[in-house]
Structure 1
Amino acid sequence: MKRVIIAPAKYVQGEGVLSFLGEYVKVLGQRPVAIASPSVMEKVENTVVESLCQYPQGIRLERFNRECCRSEIERLQAICQAAGADVLIGIGGGKAIDTAKAVAYYCRIPVVVVPTIASTDAPTSAVSVIYTEEGIFSEYLFFPRNPDLVLVDTRIIAKAPERLQVAGMGDALATFFEARACYRAGRTTNAGGVTSQSAYALAELCYQTLLADGLKARLAVADHTVSAAVENIVEANTFLSGVGFESGGLAAAHAIHNGLTCLDVCRARYHGEKVAFGTLAQLLLENAALDEIREVMFFCQSVGLPVTLGELGVSDVSEASLMPVAEAACAKGETIHNMPFPVSVEAVLSAMLSADRLGRLYSEQGGRVKALRMAACLL
């Protein structure tokens, strides 16, 4: 079996690197178009325009309409083609970035990715997650190559809401456990080969970085500051997780996330928040060691990731209400079938219910410990 590793052509991270955007873009094209949501463009427009001021015709800025769906991709594709764009810059969160990658692919031009949040590993990957206009998962769109440039300005990312950084940790959390499942099963990854030792090592480093720096980074971004821990977590959320999942493989955690998008109440929750619960469910599905499950559970609680379905907005935790989620997670072609054993709908349903029950148990115990400590302080 062949081993394949794929990654972006160039990855640049650090405070203030957005001001160097023009320097990096000029080697890719001369007629740039940038897409971003209005709120994102308001924050970065001056820096982007100033950085690209050497272009005689300037840069064309286009509004992203917030959903990575077929109609939005086609709309922006027509705009880029009419403008004669020869390089596309996607600025913003996961959906804006995924849309930019898809538009650039159909226009056959280079793509530059500028994430303004570290909530997903979309920036480095050669795949876009396509949704319906209503926000329901539709399909994966795979590309022949990864982005030409990923530019990550940690000064901008640190100004984003704390919850977004935490959601990125939830997405990154699945990387090692899904890569491990694919490695054990010898499954073909998104990169087109089995999990290599290098990809597995990056996935494992991603997990260890989360454990070491996750809480410290959360505390720093709460004050909108950039620390060494923040730099490490941004790299884990973006690069380690991106290369790790793509060349290491996806398994049950992301499939369960996709199933959860069937529930209206879950659509307001971030991708990484749902993936975090999917990771816990995967560990129950594979009957992982309790110590490992406990470590993941405690990490989630320390940074503020959901460990119960209730924390995802699901009030009806019953077999009947969760059966459609389990069925969607086990659909033909879903990544859950990369697990190193046959997976049934019933097993996934049981894993989700068990993960929820275990999450509630640990949450209740944590609440009792906090109450005892508070009472001791008052004595």
Structure 2
Amino acid sequence: MISQSGPQRYISDVTAYQQLPQYITELGVKRLVFLHGTKSLAAAQPYLADFPVDVTVTDVLFNGECSYEEINRVKQIVTAQQAQMIIGLGGGKVLDTAKSVATGTPLKLVLIPTLASNFAPWSALSVHYQANGEHIDHKIYKETADLMLLNPEVILRSPINYFVAGIADTLAKYYESELIFEQLPEEKYTTALEISRLMANKCRDVLLQYSSQAIADMKAVSLTHIWRKVAETIIVTAGTVGGWGDSYARSTGAHAVHDALTLFPETATLLHGEKVGYGILVQLAIEQHFDEIDSLLPFYREIGVPTNLHELNLDGITAADIDKIAAASADEETTMHLIPLPIDTKTVKQAMLVLEEITSATAKK
């Protein structure tokens, strides 16, 4: 087991961006690549300090997907410019691209999240997609970011649906790891695994208790302690779960379902965390934790996380399509098989159908 706890340096403050120029100067960096999206740069621009005057900055607009084509494009720019640092500013796909470019190189890596939609800023992994949004794979790297800067004022003003998706994605940290931890022999528990499990429980407890108020605070553009607690749970606490727990606490069933759903263009408008949220329910149905499903459904409906195929834009789905999702989720190469249960296509399909019955019945109450 290999633990990578997080960035080498982490600053969370409304003045966090002001630390960047001095950091660049202290490292002696003279050439850097600045990778960002259009919207993310517009959101962060009022808070960004000027780069040092003696530093050559190559501005690169992100193309929208963390694909191998995009990674290679940015790598070519980095090489041509002889860059010493790459800065990724934006959502998870921008940051994952920057990580993929930097890994295995001497490049210094700076990550600046503008959304609280996942734990990408904290992690040492990247998720890769086709240009059309279909999931390909994920890679775990030997490096974490050298610096991560979080300005809560920027994230507070980001789209709320990304925040809600981040809540669902972070809940998965508990639900994807708990059965593994439950069945782990006591003698296998290292300090790292103990920290990982504690943080997974912390994710669940904070989000179930405070998410509704945090969403209300975000709608009011009010930088409260509760909102910040939830935002940093999504980015930081979630990152420590897999960071400390390695394969015992990374993606399992919920993310395997997410990956299968990306095969359907109808789900392309849904965010990563929304599909993972649905995947949590499928995983709980596989585990036959039906009481847990019943307890989560009111929370899902309150904050707006999909609970069934209709809410995934899959109204016209056929039996063959359900088979396709189930087969892709249960493929022997997926993280589904990290769950300590026998699982095949039939198991996943049955879980999906049972979930349809449960959500239909509870919606009528």
TM-score, with length taken from structure 2: 0.91
State the identity %: 27
2:194 is aligned to 197
Q: CA deviation at 1:278?
A: 0.3
Q: Are 1:314 and 2:314 matched, yes or no?
A: yes
CA distance in 2, matches of 1:333, 1:185: 22
2:133 is aligned to 135
CA distance in 1, matches of 2:238, 2:21: 27
Q: CA deviation at 1:329?
A: 1.1
Within a 5 Å distance, the mapping from 1:263-302 to structure 2 comes to: 263-290=264-291, 292-302=292-302
2:61 is aligned to 63
1:22 is aligned to 21
Q: CA deviation at 1:107?
A: 4.1
Which deviates more from structure 2 when the two are superposed, residues 241-250 or residues 339-348?
A: 241-250
Q: CA deviation at 1:224?
A: 2.4
CA distance in 2, matches of 1:295, 1:11: 35
1:260 is aligned to 261
CA distance in 1, matches of 2:241, 2:47: 31
Change (3 A) 1:24 1:230: farther
Equivalent residues, number? 356
1:190 is aligned to none
CA distance in 1, matches of 2:182, 2:191: 10
Change (3 A) 1:256 1:322: same
- Contact 2:4 2:144 survives alignment (8 Å): no
Which deviates more from structure 2 when the two are superposed, residues 137-146 or residues 167-176?
A: 137-146
Give the letter for the 1:286 counterpart: E
- Tell me, what secondary structure is at the counterpart of 1:35? strand
Give the letter for the 1:331 counterpart: D
- Tell me, what secondary structure is at the counterpart of 2:128? strand
Within a 5 Å distance, the mapping from 1:231-246 to structure 2 comes to: 231-246=228-243
- Contact 2:10 2:147 survives alignment (8 Å): yes
- Give per-residue Cα distances to partners, 1:150-195, cap 9 Å, x unaligned: 21111001111111100100100100111213323549xxxxx997
2:364 is aligned to 364
Give the letter for the 1:140 counterpart: H
2:106 is aligned to 108
CA distance in 1, matches of 2:364, 2:106: 53
CA RMSD, aligned part only?
A: 2.1
- Contact 1:40 1:91 survives alignment (8 Å): yes
TM-score, with length taken from structure 1: 0.88
Give the letter for the 1:238 counterpart: I
- Tell me, what secondary structure is at the counterpart of 1:124? coil
- Contact 2:117 2:163 survives alignment (8 Å): yes
- Tell me, what secondary structure is at the counterpart of 1:59? strand
Q: Are 1:230 and 2:227 matched, yes or no?
A: yes
CA distance in 2, matches of 1:250, 1:34: 30
CA distance in 2, matches of 1:159, 1:17: 16
- Tell me, what secondary structure is at the counterpart of 1:359? helix
In structure 2, list runs of 5 or more residues that go unmatched.
Answer: none
CA distance in 2, matches of 1:47, 1:59: 18
Change (3 A) 1:254 1:195: farther
- Tell me, what secondary structure is at the counterpart of 2:197? helix
In structure 1, list runs of 5 or more residues that go unmatched.
Answer: 188-192, 366-379
Give the letter for the 1:80 counterpart: V
